[in-house]
Structure formats: C-alpha cells, structure tokens
Amino acid sequence: MGVVQPGIFTVDGTAGAILHGASYQLVTATNPAARREVVVIYATGLGPVSPQPRTGAPAPNSEPLSRTPSSPAVTVGGINVEVLFSGLAPGFVGLYQVNVRIPADAPPGSAPVVMTLAGVSSKPATVFIAGP
C-alpha cells in the first residue's frame, strides 16, 4: 500500500463533513444521525484506488467504482463500526468517501470519529447522534 495519511474533512474545524446516506444532508446537532443509519464520511489521504482514474479526471459514477484496496478501521465514540465502502467519491476528483453504519450502541450527542489505515489514524472529527 502506498503512503497513507487519513484525514476526515470538517465543516468548521471540528464537525465532520458527514452526510446522511439516504438524503445526503449534512449531519449536524439539529439533524443528527440515527443509530444503525448509514452515513457518508468525506476524507483524504487513503492512498491508491483501483481502478485509478486518469489524473484530474473524476472518479467513476458506476461500477467499477474506485475502491481502496483495504478499508480503514473507523470508530464512533470508541466503538468499531461497519465499513460498507471505501474509495473515491463518485463524480469527484481526489475526494475519498467512506460509508459506515452508526452502531446501535453509539452514544447520543456528539461523538468522535476516527479513521485508521495502515497504522495511521486521523485527527478526530465530531459526528452528532440522535438519542434513544
């Protein structure tokens, strides 16, 4: 695997650039993610993908999607989460997306999200999770 330096994009330096998987609306304190919901995390530094788009070309919008050879480990509030997709965001140039399912036992309120790949961890970003 090439050099990786995972990073989670934020909207304000703290809150993660994390979208609801069904609506693509931003996850916020007033629009939190539900437990068991799939969310989309926008990231950088996840290394090579296959197939590799031409330099400067957007990632494909259909199969085969540009996937990372290994999925990062992702935690929400210290809990390991299910990673459903890791690769380039379809239609974007150089933007990674990682789709994860918020765990059923995730803590309500704000929780740190950390992404780790090849032993390198991102800075934590915040995700907002609805209460019970």
Are 114 and 124 in contact by the 8 Å Cβ rule? The answer is: yes
Question: What are 59-114's pLDDT values in tens digits?
Answer: 999 999 999 999 999 999 999 999 999 999 999 999 999 999 999 999 999 999 99
Looking at residue 106, its pLDDT comes to 93
pLDDT at 1 over 70: no
* Domain 7-129 of CATH type 2.60.40: yes
Q: How many residues does the chain have?
A: 132
pTM comes to 0.95
Q: What tokens appear for 98 in the block? A: 């990682």
Radius of gyration of the chain measured on its C-alpha atoms: 14
Question: What are 39-65's pLDDT values in tens digits?
Answer: 999 999 999 999 999 999 999 999 999
Question: What are 5-16's pLDDT values in tens digits?
Answer: 999 999 999 999
Q: What tokens appear for 116 in the block? A: 């780790």
On the question of a cis peptide bond just before residue 108, with omega within 30 degrees of 0, the verdict is: no
